[in-house]
């Protein structure tokens, strides 16, 4: 048996129900996540669309996190799940650095590694992972990829040629698959970079680089360059002068 996941990105509507269910089921601390629904905007206004991609551990068959862990806290279960045993973890964070997908976080309370386990505790009791149960459009398909008759195997066969995994070039053999969603959702490098559409185009100044007398704050004070030594008073002067000239112009 090899348990795997498939997300049909054509169905996912980005409600984040799976993300919330996972947080609650696994008591994931604030600012950490086992499952995250990423979104990207594609196109140029007004011709744009938004695409959602749930991201979780890929339960790789060739998992770098499992190989690097010095105490085997990351280990395979018989059903193929890459499980994590917090009682064994010594908090070295080697697995975090080894995972090419950013799927592992350190629990700030226990200082041990944690990640998606495909809800191994629920599967043991014959239940589906929480994210599968909660999805209103059944975009998450979970099951035995070794069993040709399972729903997930059938889905993979039906979509042959359109099934993708994240970062295939890492040779980790993910058991987490995606259908649909376009190339950009799984491969950030597939994005076309349009000159002139950079968020920081008008606020980033690089002239100060290499100048030891040009502090970071100075960049934001560029409009006040006529003041040699800026203090609170000079700011107020500037404000007052701006206000006076505005009134002189008969401004509102």
* 23 vs 59 by CB, closer to ligand SF4: 59
* 60 part of the interface to ligand SF4, by CB under 6 A: yes
Please give the Cα distance from 42 to 50 (Å, whole number): 6
Query: What is the helix (H) or strand (E) element at residue 49, kind and residue range?
Result: strand 47-55
**Of the ranges 22-30, 52-60, 207-215, 239-247, which one interacts with ligand SF4 (CB under 6 A)?**
52-60
Instruction: Name 173's Cβ contacts closer than 8 Å, sequence gap at least 6.
Output: 60, 61, 62
* CA nearest neighbour of 77 among 61, 89, 93: 61
- Residues with Cβ < 8 Å from 186, sequence gap 6 or more? 53, 164, 166, 178
Region of 10-18, 151-159, 186-194, 211-219 interacting with ligand SF4 (CB under 6 A)? 10-18
Least Å distance, CB 121 to ligand SF4, is 17
Question: Any contact of residue 18 with ligand SF4 (CB under 6 A)?
Answer: yes
Residues 89-148 that bind ligand SF4 (CB under 6 A): 99, 101, 103-104, 115, 134-135, 137, 139-140
| Cα separation, 139 vs 34, whole angstroms | 18
Cβ 97 vs Cβ 128: under 8 Å? no
- The region of 6-14, 179-187, 210-218, 222-230 touching ligand SF4 under the rule CB under 6 A is 6-14
| 24 lines the binding site for ligand SF4 (CB under 6 A) | no
Kindly give the pairing relationship between strand 176-179 and strand 3-8: parallel
- Tell me how many helices (H) and strands (E) the chain has: 9, 10
* Residue range at the interface with ligand SF4 (CB under 6 A); choices 23-31, 53-61, 177-185, 233-241: 53-61
Bridge-based pairing of strands 140-144 and 3-8 is antiparallel
Instruction: Compute the least distance from the CB of residue 60 to ligand SF4, in Å.
Output: 3
Segment near ligand SF4 (CB under 6 A); pick from 54-62, 156-164, 195-203, 242-250? 54-62
Of residues 163 through 182, those in contact with ligand SF4 by CB under 6 A are 172
CA distances from 116 to 19, 84, 138, 246 (A): 11, 9, 19, 58
Binding test (CB under 6 A) with ligand SF4, winner from 55, 65, 69, 141: 65
CB of 140 to ligand SF4, least distance (A): 5
Minimal distance, residue 105 CB to ligand SF4, in Å? 10
66-101 CB burial, b ≥16 within 10 A, e <16: beebeeebbeebebbbbbbeeeebeeeebbbebbbb
- Chain residues in the site for ligand SF4 (CB under 6 A): 12-18, 37, 52, 54, 57-60, 63-65, 82, 99, 101, 103-104, 115, 134-135, 137, 139-140, 172
């Amino acid at each position: 048996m090899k348990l795997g996941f498939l997300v049909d990105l054509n169905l996912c509507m980005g409600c984040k129900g799976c993300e919330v269910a996972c947080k609650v089921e696994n008591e994931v601390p604030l600012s950490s996540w086992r499952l995250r629904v990423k979104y990207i905007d594609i196109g140029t206004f007004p011709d744009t669309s938004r695409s959602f991609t749930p991201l979780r551990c890929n339960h790789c068959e060739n998992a770098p996190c499992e190989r690097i862990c010095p105490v085997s806290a990351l280990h395979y279960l018989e059903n193929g799940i890459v499980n994590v045993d917090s009682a064994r973890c010594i908090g070295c964070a080697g697995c975090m650095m080894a995972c090419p997908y950013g799927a592992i976080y350190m629990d700030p309370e226990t200082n041990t590694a944690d990640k998606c386990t495909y809800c191994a505790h629920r599967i043991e009791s014959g239940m589906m992972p929480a994210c599968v149960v909660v999805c209103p459009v059944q975009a998450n398909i979970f099951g035995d990829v070794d069993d040709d008759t399972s729903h997930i195997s059938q889905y993979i066969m039906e979509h042959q040629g359109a099934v993708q995994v994240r970062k295939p070039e890492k040779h980790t053999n993910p058991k987490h698959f995606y259908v649909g969603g376009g190339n950009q959702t799984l491969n950030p490098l597939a994005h076309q970079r349009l000159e002139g559409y950079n968020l920081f185009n008008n606020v980033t100044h690089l002239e100060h680089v290499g100048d030891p007398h040009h502090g970071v704050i100075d960049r934001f004070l560029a409009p006040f360059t006529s003041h040699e030594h800026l203090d609170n008073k000079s700011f107020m002067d500037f404000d007052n002068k701006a206000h006076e000239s505005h009134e002189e112009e008969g401004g509102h």
